[in-house]
Amino acid sequence: MRSFRNISSLTIVIYFVLAMIFAACSMLASRLPGLQYTPTAGTFVIKNNLNWIFWLFIVLSTLCVLPLLNALLYQLHLRKALPRALAELYEEETSSEKEGFFHWLKKKVGSEDGRIILVGMAIFAPVFILSLTNAVRENDVDSYIYEYISRVVGKRAFDRMESPPVTHGIFFYDRDNAKYLKGCLSIVEELKRVGARAVLVDIRDIRWGERNQDVFPLLKKMENTGIAVLGLPMWSDLRIADSTGEFAFSKGRMTMQPFELRLNPFLFRVRLQDKSSGNKLSVPDISVELLRKYHRYSRAIAPATDAGVVEFGDYRLPVDADEWMYARQSSAVYMERTIVVSYMGDSSANLRFSGVYSKKNFSDPFTLEDLKGDYEGKIVFIVRGDPTSMENGWLLGNSYRSVLESIVSQTVVVRSQTLHIWLTILCIVCAGFIASRFRPMPALLSIFALGVVILLGTWLVYQRFYLLVDVFYPLLATGMSMFIFPALRVAETPQENERQALS
């Protein structure tokens, strides 16, 4: 307290300047723009969580103001200008009690347990700040960790439904928009005859403005089949209507991004409904519209978000704070049962179907009628592209298949927002307790075993209950504790021996 009372004018100025600097920085940090980059799949916006920078500067500014406030109150006390309740804090008896308290606190902080607590707080602080910066792609890291554990223990992801609603994809590519849509119309009509309930038609690459007079009638015929859903790009809010503006199309945005699938083929995310602030997009993800066709829901039934859950028909689908829904891969990524379509001539009647990667290994051309049992009552994807391409091929189709199966079987992955923080604290507390009770080497091995238990526990929760915990941060904290706590005990041993010798 005396150091605060005798604070010099220069120190006051320094504290004041620092407080103003941190206050100014906090105002700037509250207006930091989101980062943007342009991957191969198109422009994608990253919204980093930068709130922690604002609060950090606010805390630093407050800490700089506290000594100034204390010195001001003491000067007011000397002039007897303080209210009695505050003046008692600066009386000699109260000051003596405070100095005794600070002496006791200093003694406790200097003890072995006190140093372990301080070191634990020092471990938690950078781990917690790192979790707020989005510097690590937690979803990718965690899903890879869980996938590798599944491979080690032999518990690979499995098909969750005996009769999944989604069948294999049909890949068809033609540079001419009208010709491509004519082929798609012929395929959709054939799929309707063999009993398909919903068909996705990928039109992300349609170049609007070029011969629309040929494109629109084809889209209208496709809509009249009653099973077609048009797949638009992620950021598209395209309005398709005839000259009267009265004809509505079944459409949805393909919010699953191929470049994300290349980074992480084990965990997928889609945006079922985009209601974020300032975003005027109203077209939902294609999975919503495909399920509408699959269950024969009317257009009056629309998805609604309520407290982190999207309600649609009979489904209640959990989404995270950014309105993304997560689903894990339901089976090994494969290229089987994939059909490739090509033109044998200029007419859509001359389409050639080949099962290059089909389980049935069709060596000769065939028709969709030959696969009636595979398509009846199913959702089918018509993707514009090469099936061997990861951009628009088998990986995208297989991933959307997994998403729809997760929705229908109610095994959507829920991403915990706070559990990793409590697990991190638990790991540090347990590691500190172990380090204070055991010698360095047994403590190191025990903390390592603690990390293994946490890892297997979070994996089991992910495997059984589809709850994704950001296990990366508890593991990082445990790894740091495994070396730092025993090293602290080793460093304290000579000092403890010296104190015992002197006593």
pLDDT digits (tens, 9 = 90+) for 140-171: 889 889 988 988 887 665 555 555 677 767 87
- Give the 3-state secondary structure of residue 202: strand
| pLDDT of 26 over the 70 cut | yes
Report pLDDT digits (tens) over 28-86.
776 665 444 444 333 334 445 566 677 778 888 888 888 778 777 777 877 777 777 67
Question: Lowest mean pLDDT: which of 244-258, 368-382, 436-450, 468-482?
Answer: 244-258
pLDDT at 97: 59
Q: What is the rounded CA–CA span in Å between residue 3 and residue 322?
A: 49
Long-range contacts, 32-39 (Cβ 8 Å, 24+): 39/257, 39/259
Phi-psi region of 439 (alpha: psi -120 to 50; beta: other; left: phi over 0): beta
How confident is the model over 328-353, as a mean pLDDT?
A: 67
Token couple for 268? 């997928």
pLDDT at 153: 82
pLDDT at 426: 95
- CA proximity to 347, closest of 152, 178, 153: 178
70 or 346: whose pLDDT is higher? Answer: 70
- CA proximity to 368, closest of 195, 231, 163: 195
pLDDT at 428: 94
What does the DSSP 8-state code read for residue 90? Answer: G
How confident is the model over 244-265, as a mean pLDDT?
A: 77
* Residue 9: exposure state from Cβ atoms within 10 A (0-12, 13-18, ≥19): exposed
Confidence of residue 4 (pLDDT cuts 50, 70, 90): very low
Q: Which amino acid is at 94?
A: T
* Residue 342: exposure state from Cβ atoms within 10 A (0-12, 13-18, ≥19): middle
Question: Lowest mean pLDDT: which of 22-36, 131-145, 352-366?
Answer: 352-366
pLDDT at 133: 73
How confident is the model over 313-323, as a mean pLDDT?
A: 85
pLDDT at 251: 87
Residue 360 neighbours by CB distance under 10 Å: 12
Q: What is the rounded CA–CA span in Å between residue 132 and residue 470?
A: 12
Q: What is the rounded CA–CA span in Å between residue 16 and residue 250?
A: 62
Q: What is the rounded CA–CA span in Å between residue 190 and residue 353?
A: 12
pLDDT at 98: 60
Token couple for 261? 């699938």
- CA proximity to 330, closest of 149, 152, 165: 165
How confident is the model over 352-366, as a mean pLDDT?
A: 59
Confidence of residue 269 (pLDDT cuts 50, 70, 90): confident
What mean pLDDT value characterizes the chain? 76
Q: What is the rounded CA–CA span in Å between residue 327 and residue 317?
A: 11
How confident is the model over 477-492, as a mean pLDDT?
A: 85
Q: What percent of the chain has pLDDT over 70?
A: 70
Q: What is the rounded CA–CA span in Å between residue 291 and residue 197?
A: 10
Question: Lowest mean pLDDT: which of 65-79, 99-113, 141-155, 399-413?
Answer: 99-113
- Give the 3-state secondary structure of residue 4: helix
pLDDT at 460: 93
How confident is the model over 249-271, as a mean pLDDT?
A: 83
Quickly list DSSP for 340-400.
Answer: EEEESSSSGGGEEEE-TT-TT---S-B-GGGGHHHHTT-EEEEESS-TT-TTTSHHHHHHH
pLDDT at 178: 79
Distances (CA, A) of 82 to 9, 77, 87, 94, 486: 22, 5, 6, 15, 50
Spell out where 1-112 has E strands: 35-37, 44-46
For the chain, the C-alpha Rg in angstroms (whole number) is 31
How confident is the model over 167-191, as a mean pLDDT?
A: 81
Residue 88 neighbours by CB distance under 10 Å: 12
| pLDDT of 280 over the 50 cut | no
pLDDT at 45: 41
Q: What is the rounded CA–CA span in Å between residue 219 and residue 152?
A: 49
How confident is the model over 188-207, as a mean pLDDT?
A: 86
How confident is the model over 254-275, as a mean pLDDT?
A: 80
Q: What is the rounded CA–CA span in Å between residue 92 and residue 192?
A: 91
| pLDDT of 383 over the 50 cut | yes
| pLDDT of 327 over the 80 cut | yes
Q: What angle do CA 286, 250, 304 make, to 5 degrees?
A: 60
Let me know: does 407 contact 273? Beta carbons within 8 Å. no
pTM of the shown model? 0.71
Let me know: does 240 contact 278? Beta carbons within 8 Å. no
Confidence of residue 279 (pLDDT cuts 50, 70, 90): very low
Distances (CA, A) of 433 to 3, 113, 427, 436: 35, 9, 10, 5
Confidence of residue 27 (pLDDT cuts 50, 70, 90): confident
- Specify the residue for token string 């077609």: 228
